[in-house]
Chains A and B, each alone.
Chain A
Amino acid sequence: MQFIQTIYTIWQREIIRYWRDKTRIVSTFFMPLMFLVIFGAGLNETLATGNFGVDFTQFMYPGIIAMSIMNIAFFSTISTVWDREFGFLKEILVAPVSRVAVAFGKTLGATTIASIQAIILLILAPLIGVTIHIAIIPQLILFMLLLAFAISGMGLLISSLMKTTESFGMVTQILIFPMFFISGAFFPLTSVPSWMSVLSYINPLTYGVDAIRQIILGNQVASNILNNLSLHPISVDALFLVAFSAVMVSAAVFAFNKRA
């Protein structure tokens, strides 16, 4: 019981802080819009010549969702570094509570905030010509949550290792672009050099993009085209994301215990 209450308490604080920070709320709304306008309009004109057998915006859309989930999830887990710098982390770490619960609460806080952004993108989809069937929405949201949780776990691990917000920002900036480009968001990973393909196998974004793409395109394109674009069965994607989250959160707990 105390375990659940701790998760809830930590989570609630993240949400209150998010809600009080008007800049962050505005940017949550603005960022997806920007992504959609720039990627949707701009790229569709110049890159639409590819021969995927599928509309490029439709192809890119899962990548945009994954990209913004990653951005927000990383950015939200910075709160742990802030807590360390401003001293609040001590209040949490001396409390008679499980560190696992603390890590879960933090991860779920970032997951929630990132998912809000993803859901806004989902609502805006029709505006840029992405077709989404009502029936797939629950499944879609499930994968958004899974991906958000996996990236948040990774963010928490990084933030539990970093001393300053500056170093956290550096590390995540360095990670964001390679993770994005070898996730299959821009181009299918079916015909890339083997080193890239190996890296894509440990990239959580790959699995998120892969699953979300299959869900969205599932009832829109022929199955042979879809098979060419996808990497793993959806269940494998889900399994990887869960396993990845578990490893990241455990490592973060380990780092907490070691450092404080």
Chain B
Amino acid sequence: MNIIRVENLTKQFNGFTAVDHINFEVKKGEIFGFLGPNGAGKSTTINMLSTILPVTDGEAFINNFSILSQRDDVRKSIGLVFQDPSLDDRLTAEENLRFHAKLYGVPSDEFQKRKQEVLKLVDLWDRQNDIVKNFSGGMKRRLEIARGLLHYPAVLFLDEPTIGLDPQTRAHLWDYILRLKREKEMTIFMTTHYMNEAEYCDHIAIIDHGKIVALGTPRELKKQIGGDIISMTSNQKAELKKEIEKRYKKDVKEKDGFLQIEVEDGEKFLPRLFNELTVEIDSIELRKPTLDDVFLSLTGRAIREEEPSDKERMRQRMRMRRRN
């Protein structure tokens, strides 16, 4: 039984369709990535699935509970890490967790046990009595993940978990996320607009203008746009071209002085090429298509890392000012 089932889920805001009849399912224990540019409908979908936004049309089930009619059961079944921080930074890490545990009805002796478990998982055990205000961005995000796990949810929702973090912290955070999947067999539903992060996902849905334009494993999606690309040079280019065309029945393109062929499985094809070809090769390069290529071919534009809007920047400044 799939842990998330989404059927024709739709959200309209004053006639504008933010999410347009989407369908997908998420298996237990996998990382499911929801990919798309800003404004594509990712957060709207998460907000509907977590029952904080009313649904215009369609239905979804989480852990077999309907997001329309069994809201409290759905809420107990999910852990949420929002795009914007949602910790109380005047409280300590421990107090933030305790608050959460009480709202989710975790008994206090059980809480002591789980607190240790989740804080150790994200390496914050020895910082539990520090005020959150003094935490770095990465630590805050880790604490939020720990908090999201405290009530043992069936699914963990991560909305842009690495946004606003530096590349090193981002990589660390991914270590924790992958550890979660490995050690806890946690089902993770995440949104991102970083294509390289989507590579960690078991399945990906690419969403654009509120519609799912592609769905599959990262590998399948990359295959959709054609195979791997092998480029090579040789002193005897003409002979090489002739031999490849004859032996492998491949279409050989010449581009910038390189001969290029598209093959399905580049890693397996390269050794064959070396063993069988009689013409000498000077250099060779194997390039895999990236998810960026996939997105580009599906939507006709590249996903950019968008700058925060003026309003968002203003808000961040105000927050900084107030905190000092």
Interfacial residues, chain A to chain B (CB-CB below 8 A) = 2, 5-6, 8-9, 13, 16-17, 20-21, 83, 85-88, 90-97, 260
A13 touches B91 (CB 8 A): yes
Task: Give the distance in Å from the alpha carbon of A211 to the alpha carbon of B273 in the complex.
Answer: 96
Q: A13-B99, A90-B86, A96-B75 are in contact. Are A85 and B52 (CB under 8 A)?
A: no
Using a CB-CB cutoff of 8 Å, which residues 58-79 of chain B contact chain A?
Answer: 71-73, 75-76
Q: Does B87 contact A (CB under 8 A)?
A: yes
Task: Give the distance in Å from the alpha carbon of A108 to the alpha carbon of B262 in the complex.
Answer: 69
Considering only CB atoms and an 8 Å cut-off, how many residues of chain B contact the other chain?
27
Tell which of B102-110, B111-119, B162-170, B192-200 binds the partner: B102-110
Which B residues are in CB contact (< 8 Å) with A97? 103
A9 touches B102 (CB 8 A): yes
Interface bits B86-101 vs A (CB < 8 Å: 1, else 0): 1111110001000110
Task: Give the distance in Å from the alpha carbon of A195 to the alpha carbon of B250 in the complex.
Answer: 93
User: Chain A binding site: helix, strand, loop or mixed by DSSP?
Assistant: helix
A96 touches B104 (CB 8 A): yes
Interface pairs (12), CB distance under 8 Å: A5-B102, A21-B90, A85-B319, A87-B87, A88-B86, A90-B52, A91-B86, A91-B100, A93-B52, A94-B75, A95-B75, A96-B73
Q: Does B152 contact A (CB under 8 A)?
A: no
Closest to A102 in B: B103
Which of B75, B85, B86, B88 contacts A17 (CB under 8 A)?
Answer: B88
Which B residues are in CB contact (< 8 Å) with A8? 102
Which B residues are in CB contact (< 8 Å) with A87? 82, 84-87
Task: Give the distance in Å from the alpha carbon of A16 to the alpha carbon of B98 in the complex.
Answer: 13
Task: Give the distance in Å from the alpha carbon of A210 to the alpha carbon of B72 in the complex.
Answer: 44
Expressed in whole angstroms, the minimum distance between the Cβ of A214 and any Cβ of chain B is 40
Interfacial residues, chain B to chain A (CB-CB below 8 A) = 50-52, 71-73, 75-76, 80, 82, 84-91, 95, 99-100, 102-105, 315, 319
Q: A85-B319, A90-B52, A95-B75 are in contact. Are A5 and B88 (CB under 8 A)?
A: no
A16 touches B52 (CB 8 A): no
B80 touches A94 (CB 8 A): yes
Which A residues are in CB contact (< 8 Å) with B76? 96
Contacts beyond the supplied A85-B319, A93-B52, A96-B72: 5 A-B pairs with Cβ under 8 Å: A17-B88, A86-B85, A87-B87, A90-B82, A92-B103
B88 touches A88 (CB 8 A): yes
Which B residues are in CB contact (< 8 Å) with A21? 90
Expressed in whole angstroms, the minimum distance between the Cβ of A102 and any Cβ of chain B is 9
Expressed in whole angstroms, the minimum distance between the Cβ of B222 and any Cβ of chain A is 35
Which A residues are in CB contact (< 8 Å) with B104? 95-96
Q: Which of B80, B84, B102 has the most CB of A within 10 A?
A: B102
Task: Give the distance in Å from the alpha carbon of A94 to the alpha carbon of B73 in the complex.
Answer: 11
A9 touches B103 (CB 8 A): yes
Task: Give the distance in Å from the alpha carbon of A260 to the alpha carbon of B54 in the complex.
Answer: 9
Task: Give the distance in Å from the alpha carbon of A5 to the alpha carbon of B103 in the complex.
Answer: 8
Which A residues are in CB contact (< 8 Å) with B315? 85
Expressed in whole angstroms, the minimum distance between the Cβ of A89 and any Cβ of chain B is 8
Task: Give the distance in Å from the alpha carbon of A20 to the alpha carbon of B315 in the complex.
Answer: 24
Q: A90-B82, A95-B104, A96-B75 are in contact. Are A260 and B91 (CB under 8 A)?
A: no
Which B residues are in CB contact (< 8 Å) with A90? 52, 80, 82, 84, 86
Which A residues are in CB contact (< 8 Å) with B100? 91, 95
Expressed in whole angstroms, the minimum distance between the Cβ of A174 and any Cβ of chain B is 22
B87 touches A88 (CB 8 A): yes
Task: Give the distance in Å from the alpha carbon of A95 to the alpha carbon of B96 in the complex.
Answer: 13
